[in-house]
Every structure is written in structure tokens, then in C-alpha cells.
Amino acid sequence: MSFINNWLRADIQAINAYHVPTSVDMVKLDAMESPFPLPDELIGQYLAYLADADLNRYPNPSADELRQTLRELMDIPAEFGVLLGNGSDELIQLLALACETGDTILSIEPSFVMYGMIAKFTRLNYQGVNLDGNFEIDLSATLSAIETHKPKLIFIAYPNNPTGNAFDRGAIETIITSTEAMVVLDEAYYAYADDSFLMDIAKYPNLVLLRTVSKIGFAGLRLGLLIGAQDTVSELDKLRLPYNINTLTQVSANFLLQEKGEIDKNAKAILAERSNLSTALSGIDGLSVYPSQANFILFKAPGANALFEALKTQGVLIKNLSSAPNLDNCLRVTVGSMEENALFISIVKAYYD
Ligand SMILES: *Cc1c(COP(=O)(O)O)cnc(C)c1O
């Protein structure tokens, strides 16, 4: 037996690592990235800004300027606290670290896989509750799971990944008010959604929000935020590793996230493309297309595995969910640029012709 097999926790040995497929030279429509690069006219200014960074020094520990920039970008009221993470993934982990041995994390399924993975890493119990046939929250099943398992943390992605829909607001409010758990609404896709629970933080002390800049054009920065009541944020901040937001991210985000006009324009373009992509997919015989409030579309395709492979062979990478529970024959495509989407659609059309 090798050293590491002998040494490592058995439950970690048994895990399949989070798999990131190779995408060199492919049209990448698998990970909800923005297709829009930094505009040329900003590059010079950006580089000048970067040149000023003191890389011999540790970063600003509380990233004050960046938090202010994010408050302005996302209209976060001054009375709420903001905690930054190296991606919102790090904040999911931080919340799990705040739990006690024996505590339970509850989430709905299918949803973002990191909730379950991080529960496992941190040795917490994990309880999933299935969505109903329309990917809507099954309120009675959820409430009864809350009653039975008394979770400490409840994660709900709003809008949900990978289904793309935003759940019924009333159902979420009922969940928030019928539990002592901290309810974490993960608004990674807030920029593409019709509704948000941001202002509800003032009403519900057990509600916190997660957001990220990954889905609005800056996945490479690794920057997420938790928004909650000030006292909640100050206590959770004790669990944050010092300097978790590196200087290059702070400096870059401070500059890039000031470009609210550009960010809004890109989000609008994605919304228009989402609508075109959805219409085009719906027009292909045999496909069922689910409604989306995010920058991706889930659809069901006969022989999804083979379609996925055909796309890959022709240089287009999407996400194959067809073997995931309750996602039979489902594929998820990120809304890309007009050209990328047209290429994707032309391959799918030709495949079924
Ligand atoms: C993409 C995604 C995240 C990850 O965000 P990062 O800030 O890139 O770590 C979190 N939650 C959901 C629901 C996502 O889809």
C-alpha cells in the first residue's frame, strides 16, 4: 500500500476529485464564464494600475477599498456586512467550518455540487431534498426534512445551478421563517435573474447571501462575497484566513469592477443571447428546453451522451449531466457570444437532421 493510501482519511480516498475537463482550443460553453474579454481601451489603464501594486507586501487584510467597490457595483446597503472569499466556494467552506461536529447541511437537489462536497471535506452530515418534477422546491418534503434533520445550514442556489430556474419566492420565505438554520441563498447568477433576496437580509436575521464575480466576467479573479447582518459577518470573519484575497485580485477588481456600464452592457447582451439560444433550441424537434434566469440553459435531448460527444468532436464543450440523478438526458450549455452560440446551434441542428 502506498504511503498516501495508508495515511489519508478513507472517505477522502473514496471521493472522485472535482473534474475539470480539458478545453484547450475548444469553444468553452461548460462553466458559465463570460465570453467577453477586457475591452482594448481599458488595457493600458489597467496595466498602469497593476504596476502600482506592492507585491513585496501582504495584501490589505480586510480589502476595504474592494468591499466598497463591490457595495457600489451591487447596490449593497451600508448597514449590511460584506465578507470576501477566494471565490464563493471558499465562503461555502467557511460556513461549513463554522458548524459543530455532528451538524447537518441541507440542500435541494439537483443543485451546486460543492455544497455536498464541502460537507464531506469538513465531516458534516449532508442531506439533499429532491426538487419536484418541474425543478421547483417541494415545500412539504423540504419542511419535513428540516423538521427531521434539524440542519444548521441550508444552501439554496437562487437561481439554481444546474436547472437554471429561480424558485418560488414564497417557498423560500417559508423555509427561512420555519428554521433555526442559517439559510444561505447563493445568488451566483444574480445578474441574470428577475429577483433577489438582497433587501430581505434586513428582515430575516438567519438569511445570508452569496454572490460572486465569476459569472459576470471575472472568473479568473476568484472573488466571492457573503452579505449578511453586520454582527453575523463580524463573527464569521474570524474564520477567514488572513490575506485570503490576494493583492492582484484586489487591485484588478478595484479597477475592473468600477466599469459598471460595461458590466451591465455585457449582462444585457447575455440576456438577449439567452433568449435567442432558448428559441433556437426549442425549435429543434425532440429537445425540451427549461426556462432560465441564469447565463446557461438546461435542456433535455434524446441520446444526450452522443450529442455531447458530437459537440466535443466538433470543438464545442458543454456540460453533460445526463448521468446525474433526476437529470436524465440533460445537458447544460453556457450562453456564449453570438458566434459561439450560432456554432453550437448549427452542430445540434445538423446532429438531429
Ligand atoms: C459558479 C457557482 C459558484 C462558484 O462561484 P465561485 O465564486 O467561482 O467560487 C457558486 N455557486 C453556484 C450556484 C455556482 O453556480
Q: Quick check: is 49 in a domain?
A: no
CATH number, domain with residue 142: 3.40.640.10
- Same domain? 85 vs 232: yes
Pocket test for ligand 1, best of 215, 218, 221, 335 (most atoms within 8 A of CB): 215
- Cβ of 186 below 6 Å from ligand 1: yes
Pocket test for ligand 1, best of 33, 84, 89 (most atoms within 8 A of CB): 89
In angstroms, what is the span from residue 89 Cα to ligand 1's centroid?
6
pLDDT for 347? 98
The per-residue pLDDT for range 164-205, each reduced to its tens digit, is: 999 999 999 999 999 999 999 999 999 999 999 999 999 999
- Same domain? 307 vs 335: yes
- Same domain? 234 vs 306: no
- Residue 19: is its pLDDT beyond 80? no
Residue with the smallest CA separation from ligand 1 atom 11 is: 188
Average pLDDT, the chain: 96
- Cβ of 89 below 6 Å from ligand 1: yes
Span 318-330, average pLDDT: 95
Q: Quick check: is 218 in a domain?
A: yes
For the chain, the domain total comes to 2
- Cβ of 110 below 6 Å from ligand 1: no
* φ/ψ (deg, to 5) at 159: -65, 160
- Same domain? 238 vs 220: yes
- Cβ of 214 below 6 Å from ligand 1: yes
β-strand 319-320 against 330-334: which pairing, if any?
A: antiparallel
Cβ density class 37-51: b for 16+ within 10 Å, e for less: eeeeeeeeebeeeee
pLDDT for 22? 85
CATH number, domain with residue 269: 3.90.1150.10
In angstroms, what is the span from residue 32 Cα to ligand 1's centroid?
9
- d(CA 263, CA 36) in angstroms, rounded, equals 10
Residue with the smallest CA separation from ligand 1 atom 15 is: 161
Residue with the smallest CA separation from ligand 1 atom 14 is: 188
pLDDT band at 332 (very low <50, low <70, confident <90, very high): very high
pLDDT for 63? 96
- Same domain? 93 vs 176: yes
The per-residue pLDDT for range 90-103, each reduced to its tens digit, is: 999 999 999 999 99
Show the domain range for 284.
3-39+261-352
| Crossing angle (nearest 10°) for helices 139-149 and 169-177 | 20
Q: Quick check: is 48 in a domain?
A: no
β-strand 27-28 against 153-157: which pairing, if any?
A: unpaired
pLDDT for 21? 82
Domain boundary, last residue among 221, 242, 258: 258
- Cβ of 179 below 6 Å from ligand 1: no
pTM exceeding 0.95: yes
- Same domain? 310 vs 269: yes
pLDDT for 273? 98
- Cβ of 212 below 6 Å from ligand 1: yes
Domain boundary, last residue among 226, 258, 290: 258
| CA terminus-to-terminus distance, the chain | 53
